[in-house]
A and B are shown apart, each in its own frame.
Chain A
């Protein structure tokens, strides 16, 4: 058993004995990771925090139901993603539009003068436009660096499907960022470095 999993299980055993300190330690281990995934799913920081809070609340109230044969991270990510998917479903049903959102965050292009961080901004925007199933697979695998097997368990789909979705997401993102990536490649090879005239 790897260290992270062992620590999680040790904390969870203490949580099952109603030790709130252990629960808080668990919260600190996961809250940022969860907020990042859910924020990128919903594109709303406040909503993401609310859902993460709800996730931990469910972990606490159902702490006795936890099955130690699974990774704790799998359980927590599954709860969080299910809440996020429910929220997205609700949004599809009742479309809310805010005047502040009229700029379409996902389509905002970064200032080209931003340099290397511009690529990061563009990637954020491109991820925002990915279809849900590709987005969640990419976020769990490439951003959260979870193993394929765990992503498959969290999403409840076969391993091959996860690999295919991640591959598809990477291909879509690659196409979306191609011009900027090409610039970056040219710069890294030195072919576009401006030559100062003597």
Chain B
């Protein structure tokens, strides 16, 4: 018998599952091979150690806790819960409730800010409007739109490159009548001025538009 085959038989030897013929051949090999004898010792030691491993017992109150759990399970089985109650229990799970509150809170806050600002984004947060401001030096706003309107709609009709760019920017920013900018002056205290209005559209002061846009 070769060492490789002997190694294969060593595990079966520990289990006592070798046939008589296999066992005799293996023992004969072990008698003449120090290396395999060593391996056989390792295998039998592992087996012996495994049976003598430290035992982990349960806590003393294990049976009591189990009895309580069994009682609860029996009670649940005796009084099956209706699907409505299960649904209610599912919906009222603390994590779900907390998540709903957060979602509703965020949604409510969003709706409130939309109503307050009439859905217009902050001028400073709008890349289009800030770019327009930077490029043309105009006061363009979306939610600081409490203005006293001058009543005039300033057409943006110039064909020069600068005007076209400005028009394009406004269109990209949206909410603007395609061909006009509403003129008006910001109002510092809207409550004092009954004619002050909140506008959804971007506003610029007419003189600034006049200065920058030729038409």
- Where the two chains meet, the residues of A that have a C-beta atom closer than 8 Å to any C-beta of B are 20, 23-24, 27-28, 31-32, 35-36, 39, 45, 48-49, 52-53, 56-57, 60-61, 119-120, 123-124, 138, 142-143, 145, 148, 163, 166-167, 170-171, 173-174, 177-178, 181-182, 184-185
Residues A124 and B53 in contact, CB atoms below 8 Å apart: yes
How many residues belonging to B are interface residues under a CB distance threshold of 8 Å?
Answer: 32
Q: Which residue of A lies closest to B57 (CB)?
A: A32
Q: For chain B, what secondary structure do more than half of its interface residues adopt (helix, strand, loop), or is it mixed?
A: helix
Partner pick for A181 among B42, B57, B65, B66, CB 8 A cutoff: B42
B78 at the interface (CB under 8 A from A): no
| Contact partners of B14 in chain A: CB under 8 A | 170
Task: Name the B residues within 8 Å of A178 (CB-CB).
Answer: 42
19 new A-B contacts, CB < 8 A, other than A27-B66, A142-B50, A143-B50, are A24-B63, A32-B58, A36-B55, A39-B56, A52-B62, A53-B62, A57-B66, A57-B70, A57-B73, A60-B73, A119-B49, A167-B11, A173-B46, A174-B39, A174-B43, A174-B46, A181-B42, A181-B46, A184-B45
Q: In the bound complex, what is the Cα–Cα distance between A31 and B59 (angstroms)?
A: 11
| Chain A contact residues, majority secondary structure | helix
B interface list, Cβ under 8 A from A:
11-12, 14-15, 38-39, 41-43, 45-47, 49-59, 62-63, 65-67, 69-70, 73, 77
Provide the bound-state CA to CA distance between A12 and B15, in Å.
30
Contact A27 B63 (CB under 8 A): yes
Instruction: Known A57-B66, A57-B69, A120-B53; judge A170-B46 contact (CB<8 A).
Output: yes
Residues of chain B with a CB closer than 8 A to A24's CB? 63, 67
Q: Which of B55, B59, B66 contacts A56 (CB 8 A)?
A: B66
Residue contacts A-B, CB under 8 angstroms, 14 given = A35-B58, A49-B62, A52-B62, A53-B62, A61-B77, A120-B49, A120-B52, A143-B50, A143-B53, A148-B15, A166-B11, A174-B42, A174-B46, A178-B42
Closest to A126 in B: B46
A158-B11 Cα distance, complex, nearest whole Å: 18
CB distance from B44 to the nearest CB of A (A): 10
